[in-house]
Structure formats: structure tokens, C-alpha cells
Amino acid sequence: MIRKSCFLVLSLFVFAVFLTGCPKKIPEPVISEKEVVTDPIAKLFEAFSAAESLQAGASIRIDTVRNGEEMFFLLNGFLLYQKPNLLRLQGYHPFGMGLFDALYRNGEFFLLIPPQKRAYTGEVSQMEELKDRAGVIQILVEKNEGNGIPRRIQIELVEKETRIDLKLKDVVINPVLPGDSFDWVVPQGVKVRSLERLLKEKKIE
């Protein structure tokens, strides 16, 4: 199951190309219609544009169909965002094991998959072929009315029968993030490969 969830979580960022306070009353959500997008990364940055920076925990649910069988996976995550173009999402198994660390920075994409001891890096422009194979991508954004910050982002790959539901929690708006928040460090023993190699290895079924 860990291998399958790794692959599906990996899809979260690869397909998405490419994510304060304690009010006494929870604000009513503002829900946008599901929107067909051609540039999911741009849509994600637009969703967070009400903040200069942000950090949040996340719960991630991935629903998919493989060989006619419905499957779902539950993961925990941690998200960092900073204007204008820095976004990082780390995913963890419910028991705490690190599954992936995905970073978008100034047009570059970095992905670390600790269980496989692999890392990938390259320009996001290299993902065009993968986006074509992914087919129609719809994104729904549910925001807090009071501050315009997302509380939920849903990414649906219609033709692949896959839906990724990202719910943010413990959100801190406009924190001063440490200087190394978006640094890319490859652990010892991890092989670094090109993003192009990743796209060849992870063919979408």
C-alpha cells in the first residue's frame, strides 16, 4: 500500500503542473465552481494570493480507480507558501513516515521520495507531455469568507478517475518563514534524476 500511495501522492504535484488564529465562530466557506484548468500551478498560486506567506498542516485524501477497483488513501501533510512563486508540500504516512517532499520554486520543480531513495529535479515546462496525458483537470477551491484563504482544494483528473482532496488546518497567515524554508537538500544516499526521467518512468495508465 505504501508504494501505491507514494505513486498517487507523487501524482498530486506532477499532475498539478502540479498548495491564524482561532475564531470563536467558523466562517462560512466561499466555494468556487469546479473549473477546468490548463495551468494547475497558476491556479494554486491564485488560490493563495490573499496571503504574502502561509504555513499549514493538511489532510490529503486521494480517491482513484485502478483496474475497475475503487481505492482511497489518507495522508498527512505540511504546506508552505510564499509570494510570488514558492510552494512546498510534504506528505507523510499516518504513522509518520515521510512519503514525499515536493517543491516548486521559480519555475523549477523538485521532488524527493524517501522510501525509494530517489529525487527528481527539472523545469516545470518539461511537464507539458504529462499534462496532455492527464486529460481534463478540474480544480475546486473552498475559501474562508473572512480572509480569502483556502480551507480546501480539490483537484480532479476526470479521465483518470482520480480526485485529490487537500484540506488545510492550523493555518498561519503571513508568518515570517525561516530562510531555508524553500531550500532543496538531498539526503545522503539518494539518487538525483532529471524530471524527464521521472516522466518516462511514471507512465500514466
* pTM, two decimal places: 0.79
CATH code at position 55: 2.50.20.10
- Least confident window among 35-44, 120-129, 170-179: 120-129
Centre a 10 Å sphere on the Cβ of residue 125 and count the other Cβ atoms it contains: 11
Per the structure, the complete domain to which residue 59 belongs is given by 2-201
Number of independent structural domains in the chain: 1
pLDDT digits (tens, 9 = 90+) for 58-84: 999 988 887 888 888 888 999 999 999
Phi, psi of 203 (to 5 degrees): -65, 135
**69-82 and 191-194: which strand pairing?**
unpaired
* Percent of residues, the chain, with pLDDT higher than 90: 30
| Dihedral sign computed on CA atoms, order 204, 9, 159, 66 | positive
Centre a 10 Å sphere on the Cβ of residue 79 and count the other Cβ atoms it contains: 22
